[in-house]
Structure 1
């Protein structure tokens, strides 16, 4: 009985991993890009930033992670927290860690923080208007 349960759990992990880390976020990102509001765009952009950083860290410390047998389970729980709309973990992580580090770096080096953000959003807004005019 224990071996059968292990096999089932193993199969669920095999399917849940790619679904939770890539397929659902990909779908939600496309939905966010097609929606009118920009709030969900920020959540999914934050997710991809955090997830990319996590993947990079995994590549760098792969030999050490091989010794931690529960790493994959911990990663799935963490990514679930990042992805699920009830938690908006990606936005929380971005605000508390990534954004704060960027602010510190910019103030230390005399850079203007987030200088290009408004220009990019204006560019995207103009493109959405052009697309809307095209389809009307």
Structure 2
């Protein structure tokens, strides 16, 4: 009976007993060994581990009242520390390579305070900017043709007129691309504006 109850106590308090061994004793030993070697890989592993360990400790100190209500927290922390510490996983090196290093090497700065401003443009501003773009791409003559075709149709056929304007713009682009594919015309100067 005595040994059975001892095993039960040991099983219930496994996290309390294994935690310091996994989180402190072995990492301290491995860190001292890493200092004595010339390899940078183990230095990186253990420096990263100690940074992560300090973050976990700060997290626990900050949210202690909440974490007391979570019965799985000590076991989750123990498993996470095992993943960080054990050489077969090298979790700390993984965290460094995939999260910390890209942030410091690439200097990716994330501005969490930036909120893009929504500019509300009136309908006339949208139309004007679209017209300016069309003139830049196709020239003023094509725009005048487009306007003359749209004003010659009846206003009651607004939807079909709008489609014909879009179709006409597409046809103009295709015609321009076809003319450009023919090669250079010695009688046509692209830079000449009327």
Say whether the fold is shared (TM-score over 0.5).
Answer: yes
Q: Which residue of 2 aligns with 1:73?
A: 75
Question: What does 1:7-18 align with in structure 2 at a 5 Å threshold?
Answer: 7-18=9-20
Larger deviation: 62-71 or 8-17?
8-17
**RMSD of the alignment, in Å?**
2.2
2:49/2:85 contact within 8 Å kept: yes
1:48 aligns with 2:69: no
Partner of 2:125: none
Distance 2:101 2:40 in 1: 18
User: Deviation digits for residues 107-128 of structure 1, max 9, x if unmatched?
Assistant: 439xxxxxxxxxxxxxxxxxxx
Distance apart, 1:49 and its partner CA: 1.0
Q: Judging by fraction of residues, say which structure has more helix.
A: 1
Check the 8 A contact 1:50/1:94 in 2, yes or no. Answer: no
Higher relative contact order (CA 8 A, sep 6+): 1
**Partners in 1 of 2:92 and 2:36 — Cα distance?**
20
Pairwise CA distance, 1:67: 0.8
Q: Can you give the 5+ residue segments of structure 1 that lack an aligned partner in the other structure? A: 110-136
Match of 1:31 in 2: 33
SS of alignment partner, residue 109 of structure 2: helix
Q: Answer with 1 or 2: which has the greater Rg.
A: 2
> What's the secondary structure of 1:108's corresponding residue?
coil
Please show how residues 1-136 of structure 1 align to structure 2 within 5 Å.
5-103=7-105, 106-108=107-109
Partner in structure 2 of residue 132 of structure 1: none
Matched residue, 2:148: none
After TM superposition, the score normalised by the length of structure 1 is 0.69
Q: Distance in 2 between matches of 1:67 and 1:100?
A: 35
Aligned length: 108
Moved over 6 A (4+): none
